[in-house]
Amino acid sequence: MADKPEKFIDENGIRSDGRRANEIRDVKIEVGVLSRADGSCYLEFGKNKVMAAVYGPREVHPRHQQKSNRAIVRYKYNMASFSVEDRKRPGPDRRSIEVSKVSREALEDQIFTEYFPKSAIDVFVEVLQADAGTRTAALNAASVALADAGIPMRSLVSACAVGKVDDTLVLDLNKDEDNYGQADMPIAMTPDGKITLLQMDGHLTQEEFKQGLEMAQEGCRQVYEMQRKALMDYYSKKTEVLSTEVTAAEDVKGDAPEEPEDVTQVEVLEDTEDTKKIDDTNETGDTRETEGTKETGDTEETEDTVKAGDVEELEDSGEEVPDTGENADETDGQMDESEEEISNE
Amino acid sequence: MNKEIVSIIQKDQLYNLMLKGERADGRAFDETREIKIETGVIEKAEGSASVEIGDTKIIAGVKISPGTPFPDTPDVGVIITSLELIPLASPEFESGPPREKAVELARVTDRGIRESGAIDLKKLCIIEGEKVWMIFIDIHVLDDGGNIMDAAALGSIAALLTATIPAERYGLGEDAPLPMRDIPVSVTAVDIGGGILFDPSLQEERVANTKLTVIPNQEGAIVGMQKSGNGSLSPDQINHIVEVACKKAQDIREKFLEI
């Protein structure tokens, strides 16, 4: 970990990462990136990389949690063990329990839960890379994923943190500013100015707090525009593709239009490619190698080489997968399966 | 966590009272219930305090023992705060590992103490990288009458202020009081239909959607905050709560906690 920098802001008012005090980091938002989830979003906030998935409204398990007059909302914030400098022990700790609670509360009132009695809306957010401000990044992604899932909402929720370094208020702390800064205050709000999440630690005078609150609101508004744009871009493209495909299909045969290709291009396509690759290596690689080594006649060795070769190849293909928690998981599962298949032989 | 069991009549009643500027127990909106603090209630603990705010009753105990510091902070002491909502305190609490409500309360209490620098942790280093004093703050909620948050924070700081480092027992020099530098006080308010009520009773806490805890330090700066609950607050409401909270915290500090 880097040591505390001598100065966070230089004489020209520029921060260590080149931003001004009231600038947020670069944000990248991709909508609809997971094939199985009802709604999903991949979001980068500076060096933070988070993936959010929404499932539901769906049946509540365990049953006793269900509410007869509304849907329950569950929010799970989880940090990947590799997302931070020192490996994080997997599973929920007290911090992520708290983050999950306040994030759920930040979203719940914006969802029309009363439309879906006896059901559950599950939000899962996986922090793949953490670099200060993960709860706000996670919340931003979750909000977009909820919209992508078609969950009726009163509004989107946008989040942003404000903090204090060198006695100056700065928007959207980076890692050093978070570690060694004097205060950190994440907030979330709706476009009409209702604040749905507010936490603070550090040291702020009342005056600084007032200013900070305004700055953070400005940050949230910027994030909101980006969330909105990402959703608009994605859905306008989707409808475009759909309508062209429909006309094309009608022209030819009148077949039902397939899922538009570029909708989930990045994730889904690569995913299927990978799956194929794995399958290929299993079958063809298997036989080829067996044939090649047949001359030596040692069956045991043959099996060994097959196994080793296979696994290596599989691992390679695993690395090609874009670093998305969900996909990585899936590939993992496939790897295990294929390994098992081989050893069974 | 059964917030659901609030009758509509009760909700209406509290809301209508609020519209008239009243509260069910006759308090003003920014009036705190009677606070009682007693320190040194547990002789076996290095520091302890029992706190009552209205019906709410908690006991905070501080245990101090030598231990290994965290590798990234080899020369400072360690604070570990836990809070248990034991089933004795309310029909809604269940035994088992802490749920999110208990975790949140513990973490916000911890935040106030840690971020205000209430304890001079550098002075708790015995041998750098090897041995430091570990401070365990454990809060037991005995009766849930609403606003456990403020009671827990008050109890833990009161217990810390009266705690002694048991150096003699471990052959590490003479017993000494904890090196305290600041006194954070937590002040919580809820929003009921737009009215901001401080130190919510159990009834009010259940009816309210949103709760905001503000923890000011001695000099009136804010060291910790937490919004809790489903609802939202407007910036004006928040600024109002912060303003009143800073004043109230000072009152409570002067009345109960000056060393």
- pLDDT tens by residue, B216-244: 999 999 999 999 999 999 999 999 999 99
Tell me whether residues B222 and A206 touch, CB distance under 8 A: yes
Give the one of B114, B217, B235 whose C-beta lies nearest to A195's C-beta.
Answer: B235
Q: Give the DSSP H or E segment for A345.
A: none
pLDDT for the residue numbered A305: 40
Q: Is any Cβ of chain B less than 8 angstroms from the Cβ of A338? A: no
User: What are A144-165's pLDDT values in tens digits?
Assistant: 999 999 999 999 999 999 999 9
Q: pLDDT confidence of B258, banded at 50, 70, 90?
A: low
Question: What are the chain A neighbours of B229 within 8 Å (beta carbons)?
Answer: 105
Task: Check whether A288 has a pLDDT greater than 60.
Answer: no
Query: Backbone phi, then psi, for A176, in 5-degree steps?
Result: -65, -40
Q: pLDDT confidence of A193, banded at 50, 70, 90?
A: very high
Count CB-CB contacts under 10 A for residue B258.
Answer: 9
pLDDT for the residue numbered A294: 41
Total number of residues shown for chain B: 259
Contact predicate A345/A285, CB 8 Å: no
Q: What is the mean pLDDT of residues A207-224?
A: 96
Between strands B78-84 and B164-165, the pairing is: unpaired
CA separation for the pair A263, A241 (Å, rounded): 8
Question: What are the chain A neighbours of B217 within 8 Å (beta carbons)?
Answer: 203
CA separation for the pair B48, B137 (Å, rounded): 9
Contact predicate B137/B82, CB 8 Å: yes
Q: Choose between A321 and B107: higher pLDDT.
A: B107
* Residue the block writes with tokens 């006793």: A64
Q: Is any Cβ of chain A less than 8 angstroms from the Cβ of B233? A: yes
Contact predicate A55/A101, CB 8 Å: no
Contact predicate B233/B227, CB 8 Å: yes
* Average pLDDT along chain A: 79
Q: Choose between B159 and A1: higher pLDDT.
A: B159
Question: What are the chain B neighbours of A202 within 8 Å (beta carbons)?
Answer: 115, 223
CA separation for the pair B19, B2 (Å, rounded): 26
Q: Is any Cβ of chain B less than 8 angstroms from the Cβ of A102? A: yes
Q: What is the mean pLDDT of residues A94-108?
A: 96
Question: What are the chain A neighbours of B103 within 8 Å (beta carbons)?
Answer: 94, 97-98, 101
CA separation for the pair B236, A210 (Å, rounded): 10
Cβ-proximal residues to A63 (8 Å cutoff; 6+ apart), any chain: none
Contact predicate A120/A56, CB 8 Å: yes
pLDDT for the residue numbered B152: 97
Give the one of A109, A185, A189 whose C-beta lies nearest to B231's C-beta.
Answer: A109
Task: Check whether A297 has a pLDDT greater than 60.
Answer: no
CA separation for the pair A36, B169 (Å, rounded): 60
CA separation for the pair B107, B109 (Å, rounded): 5
Task: Check whether A13 has a pLDDT greater than 50.
Answer: yes
User: What are B84-111's pLDDT values in tens digits?
Assistant: 998 889 888 988 888 999 999 999 999 9
Q: Is any Cβ of chain A less than 8 angstroms from the Cβ of B248? A: no
Q: What is the mean pLDDT of residues B61-72?
A: 94
Count CB-CB contacts under 10 A for residue A194.
Answer: 20
Buried b or exposed e, range A256-280, using 16+ CB within 10 angstroms: eeeebeebbeebbeebeebeebbee
Which of A180, A198, A217, A218 has the highest number of chain B CBs within 10 A, making it the mutation to test binding with B? A198
Chain A residue with CA closest to B227: the answer is A198
Position B73: which residue type?
A: T
**Per-residue three-class SS string for chain B:** CCCCCCCHHHHHHHHHHHHCCCCCCCCCCCCCCCEEEEECCCCCCCEEEEEEECCEEEEEEEEEEEECCCCCCCCCCEEEEEEECCHHHCCCCCCCCCCHHHHHHHHHHHHHHHHCCCECHHHHEEECCCEEEEEEEEEEEEECCCCHHHHHHHHHHHHHHCCEECCHHHCCCCCEECCECCCCCCEEEEEECCEEEECCCHHHHHHCCEEEEEEECCCCCEEEEEEECCCCECHHHHHHHHHHHHHHHHHHHHHHHCC
Closest Cα partner for A41 from A227, A203, A249? A227
Q: What is the mean pLDDT of residues B70-74?
A: 92
CA separation for the pair A72, A141 (Å, rounded): 19
* Residue the block writes with tokens 């400005």: A218
Count CB-CB contacts under 10 A for residue B242.
Answer: 22
pLDDT for the residue numbered B46: 95
Distance from CA of A241 to the nearest CA of B (A): 39
CA separation for the pair B79, B118 (Å, rounded): 11
Tell me whether residues A206 and B220 touch, CB distance under 8 A: yes
Q: pLDDT confidence of A2, banded at 50, 70, 90?
A: low
Tell me whether residues A95 and B239 touch, CB distance under 8 A: no
Lowest mean pLDDT among A207-211, A246-250, B101-105: A246-250
DSSP conformation class of A111: B
Angle (nearest 5°) at CA A35 between A31 and A38: 70
Q: pLDDT confidence of B259, banded at 50, 70, 90?
A: low
Interface contacts A/B by beta carbons within 8 Å: 99
Q: Is any Cβ of chain A less than 8 angstroms from the Cβ of B55? A: no
* Residue the block writes with tokens 């006695």: A167
The pTM of the full predicted model, rounded to 2 decimals, is: 0.78
> Domain limits of chain B?
19-257
Give the one of B103, B222, B228 whose C-beta lies nearest to A200's C-beta.
Answer: B222
Q: Using N-to-C axis directions, what is the helix angle for A286-293 and A299-320, rounded to 10°?
A: 150
User: What are A252-266's pLDDT values in tens digits?
Assistant: 654 544 544 444 444
Tell me whether residues A209 and B224 touch, CB distance under 8 A: no
- Which two three-digit tokens encode residue A52? 């959010």
Closest Cα partner for B140 from B102, B185, B188? B102
Tell me whether residues B234 and A108 touch, CB distance under 8 A: no
Task: Check whether A306 has a pLDDT greater than 50.
Answer: no
User: What are B178-199's pLDDT values in tens digits?
Assistant: 999 999 999 999 999 999 999 9
Tell me whether residues B220 and A203 touch, CB distance under 8 A: no
**Peptide linkage before A62 cis (omega within 30 of 0):** yes
Task: Check whether B116 has a pLDDT greater than 90.
Answer: yes
Give the percent of chain A with pLDDT over 70. Answer: 71
The interface predicted TM-score (ipTM) is: 0.85
Task: Check whether A111 has a pLDDT greater than 80.
Answer: yes
Tell me whether residues B232 and A214 touch, CB distance under 8 A: no
Contact predicate A273/A331, CB 8 Å: no
Q: Is any Cβ of chain A less than 8 angstroms from the Cβ of B222? A: yes
pLDDT for the residue numbered B4: 55
Residue A53: beta bridge partners?
A40, A124
- Which two three-digit tokens encode residue A278? 């794995």
Q: Is any Cβ of chain B less than 8 angstroms from the Cβ of A214? A: yes
- Which two three-digit tokens encode residue B114? 């840690």
Task: Check whether A300 has a pLDDT greater than 70.
Answer: no
Cβ-proximal residues to A85 (8 Å cutoff; 6+ apart), any chain: A1
**Peptide linkage before A57 cis (omega within 30 of 0):** yes
Q: pLDDT confidence of A275, banded at 50, 70, 90?
A: very low
Q: Choose between A34 and A280: higher pLDDT.
A: A34
Within the 42-81 window of chain A, which residues sit less than 8 Å (CB to CB) from chain B? 67
Q: pLDDT confidence of A218, banded at 50, 70, 90?
A: very high
Q: pLDDT confidence of A251, banded at 50, 70, 90?
A: low
B19-257 CATH fold = Ribosomal Protein S5; domain 2 (3.30.230)
- Helix (H/G/I), strand (E/B), else coil: A274: helix
